[in-house]
Structure 1
C-alpha cells in the first residue's frame, strides 16, 4: 500500500504487526552513493519526518531504521516503531520471534494522514 508519493519518492506500508514504512526513490538506484546529493538529502529529511511523527503518534520504545537491500537491490529505507511487547523485541523484525504480540495501537489510517500532511507541508525541524 502506497502511503505517499511525489515525483521523486514514494512511501509504502510494510504489512506487519508494528508500524513499518519503507521510503523508496522512484529511480531504482542500486546504492545510496548513486543517489544524487540533493535527492539523498531529501531522503533523509523524509526519514526525519516519518521518525518524528511515528514517535509522537505511537510512543514506541525505539525506532529501528534499516537499509539492507540484498533481496530488493535498490535504495530504500525501513522505518519501524518497536515496542517491548511486539513479537520480536528486542530482536530485529527479521529475527527470531519471541512471543505473540499483544499490541493495542492507534489507528494507522490516521497516522498515514498525519505523515502525508507533514510531508506535504515539509514540516522539517
Structure 2
C-alpha cells in the first residue's frame, strides 16, 4: 500500500500546522489571505468521491475545525471575515486538497477567486511564527 505524501508544490507553497482526524492542515504562504489547505492523509486520492462514507464524515468534522482556524488566522492578521470560500479544484495539483479561505470586500482579489491573482506575499518571520502558534492552539 502506498504511503501518504504531500505533493511538492503544496509543500513548497504552504507550512505544516498540524493533523486533524483525517486531514493534514497547512497554512498557505500568502499573507494577503487567511488561507488553509486540508489534505486527507490517504495515498493517491484525487477526488472527493474516492473517500468512504466514514471519511466524508471525518472530512466534514475537519472542515468545521478548519473554519475555526481560518477565522483565528483572520483575527491574528487583522482582517474581517465576510465569507468563507471552501474549494476543491485540483486543476494544477491533482492530489486531493481542500482550500479554506477567509474573504472580505477589501481583500486583494475580492470578489474574484484568489487563484492566480497577483503575486503571493510572504509572511515576515515573526508574523508567521505568531500565526502558526495561534493556529496550533486551536488543535489542542
Regions of 4+ moved over 4 Å = none
| Residue 50 of structure 2 is aligned to residue 34 of structure 1 | yes
* Superposition RMSD in Å: 2.5
Q: Could you say which residue in structure 2 is the equivalent of 1:123?
A: none
| Residue 134 of structure 2 is aligned to residue 111 of structure 1 | yes
Q: Which structure 2 segments of 5+ residues have no match?
A: 1-14, 119-126
Q: Could you say which residue in structure 2 is the equivalent of 1:52?
A: 68
TM-score, normalising length: structure 2: 0.67
Counterpart-to-counterpart distance in 2, 1:8 and 1:49: 12
Q: Could you say which residue in structure 1 is the equivalent of 2:34?
A: 19
Check the 8 A contact 1:7/1:26 in 2, yes or no.
no
Query: How far off is 1:110 after superposition?
Result: 4.0
Alignment of 1:36-115 (within 5 A): 36-55=52-71, 58=75, 59-94=80-115, 96=117, 107-115=130-138
SS of 1:38's equivalent? helix
Counterpart-to-counterpart distance in 1, 2:108 and 2:25: 24
Counterpart-to-counterpart distance in 2, 1:47 and 1:6: 9
SS of 1:88's equivalent? coil
Check the 8 A contact 1:50/1:115 in 2, yes or no.
no
Q: How many residues align?
A: 110
Query: How far off is 1:20 after superposition?
Result: 0.4
After superposition, the Cα gap between the structure-2 partners of 1:114 and 1:84, relative to the gap in structure 1 and judged at 3 Å, is farther
Counterpart-to-counterpart distance in 1, 2:20 and 2:106: 35
Which one has more relative contact order, counting CA pairs under 8 Å at least 6 apart?
2
TM-score, normalising length: structure 1: 0.73
